[in-house]
Structure 1
Amino acid sequence: MITITYFGYGSLVNAATVPDGAEIVPGRLKGWVREWRVCGVWENGQGRCALSVRQEPGSEIRGVMTREQQSRLHALEQRESRYEKIGQIGTSFRCEAESKPGPEELFLFKATPENERWGCDRHPILQSYLDCVLAGFHQIWGEEGVSHFFDTTDGWHVPVLKDRAVPLYPRAVEIDTKLLQLFDDHVERQNLTLISA
């Protein structure tokens, strides 16, 4: 079977947002930082901000190496339509379980130049998207993973749109109330600006 292998650092960490049967390997990527720095207007007219990455020597982020059938590439590229593929990052990745590097063909998605800008009031972070990302980190690394996400992501000046009750994010996931409270505690400690939907 011909496959593709990519590094997920945001919503792609959450197994509920990738196809059944995909192989997901937790790990760390050296030399990159996450940031709230890709903006666009989606089909419903809602402007929103999503995660991207930038290279930064000495930095490291947790994420997952995912392998799935090459036939899924087109659907993945449609999902990540505001991003470009950055290839050959395998030597910067280490699997957590065995400390092995990733394959040479490992790639990630980074915002295209035309979409690369900080979020703002017109392009806020969707709370339903943030919840999905945090749930993925919690599934793998527990509360430590949630703390790591906040500590290794730039752009927390971007406001968060409170759409949890009626999610605007198309891959929103159901999350236990206690876990949502944990997320909200982190949001409060980060002193984020919340705006009503």
Structure 2
Amino acid sequence: MTTPFFFGYGSLVNQRTHSNRPAHLARATGWRRAWVHVEAHPLAVLTAVPAPGHEIEGLIAAVPGADWQTLDTREKEYDRLDATTAVLHEAGELRSIAIYSVPEARRRPAHEGRPILLSYLDVVLQGYLDMFGEAGAVRFFETTDGWDSAPVLNDRPSPRYPRAQALTGEETAWIDAALAARGIDVRPA
């Protein structure tokens, strides 16, 4: 297939946040996720970082007409990199798959002054719960670094993440329990 695809590993796993179709489950080998900060953004962002011997689950989705403008604008702090040979999927033969990654020279570890927005994390975990179930959401935590370096800011009453989604009571309870079970520092906004 000549249509290019992207590999989503965070908010792009949540299909409520974009209209790119078709979409398929996938895994990227040689990558992990990390919470980082970039100077241009006041809050922590999630990025994929090269990590030989590791693997992350996610979603590949089509970019019809190779029109990358919407995604490139959404992911403006990231570089779009070729990951075709690193992504495992069952979507048939695909010519190209890209992954977005904050360049190493521009990323720093997340820290207290650059918290993780809970509304952002909710979107990510809602996507993993939808696509991979609870076991997949647990694997998201296990394959993501930076949980101990930045607190999670509870902005649910007034979400600051631009693509925030409504959660079911079950999703909210699962996410809250998962954060508590890992001792992740959640603070009021």
* CA drift at 1:72: 3.9
| Counterpart selection for 2:172 from 165, 172, 180 | 180
1:167 aligned residue: 159
Hey, what's the Cα distance between the residues in 1 that align with 2:93 and 2:178? Answer: 31
Residue 8 of structure 1 and its aligned partner are, at CA, apart by 0.4
Alignment partner of 1:138 out of 129, 136, 139: 129
CA distance in 1, matches of 2:127, 2:4: 21
CA 1:164–1:71 in 2, change beyond 3 Å: closer, same or farther?
same
> Which residue pairs with 1:13 in the alignment?
13
Cα 1:102–1:145 change in 2 (3 A) is farther
- Residue 147 of structure 1, CA deviation: 0.4
**% identical aligned pairs:** 32
State yes or no: 1:92 paired with 2:86: yes
**Matched residue, 1:78:** 73
Two-structure CA RMSD over aligned residues (Å): 2.0
Q: Structure 1 residues 72 and 18 mapped into 2: Cα distance closer, same or farther (>3 Å)?
A: farther
Deviations 1:12-67 (A, max 9, x none): 00000112x5211101111111110243555xxxx111111111111111001110
Q: State the distance in 2 between where 1:135 and 1:162 align.
A: 16
Question: What one-letter code is carried by the residue in structure 1 that aligns with 2:28?
Answer: L
Extract unaligned runs of 5+ from structure 2.
none
Deviation at 1:3, TM superposition (A): 3.5
**Whole-angstrom CA distance in 1 between matches of 2:152 and 2:176:** 12
Cα distance per residue 1:85-121 (max 9 Å; x no partner): 111x2222111xx4x6763421100003453111122
* Distance change (3 Å), C-alpha of 1:27 and 1:102: farther
Distance 1:71 1:61, change over 3 A: closer
For 1:121 and 1:101, locate their aligned partners in 2 and report how far apart those are by CA, in whole Å.
43
Q: Taking structure 1 as the reference length, what is the TM-score of the superposition? A: 0.88
In structure 2, C-alpha distance between the alignment counterparts of 1:141 and 1:2, rounded to whole Å: 27
| Alignment: residue pair count | 188
**Equivalent position SS for 1:29:** strand
Q: Which runs of 5+ in 1 are unaligned?
A: none
Contact 2:120–2:161 (Cα < 8 Å) also in 1: yes
1:2 deviation in Å? Answer: 7.0
AA paired with 1:12? L
Say if 2:36 and 2:107, in contact at 8 Å, map to a contact too: yes
Distance 1:94 1:103 in 2: 11
> Hey, what's the Cα distance between the residues in 2 that align with 1:107 and 1:30?
13
TM-score normalised over the length of structure 2: 0.91
Which secondary structure does the structure 2 equivalent of 1:171 belong to?
coil
CA deviations on 1:107-150 (whole Å, 9 max, x unpaired) are 10000345311112221100000000000000011101110100
More displaced stretch, 161-170 vs 32-41: 32-41
Residue 183 and residue 102 in structure 1: after superposition, are their counterparts in 2 closer, same or farther (change >3 A)?
farther
Distance 2:11 2:57 in 1: 13
The letter for the 2-side match of 1:14 is N
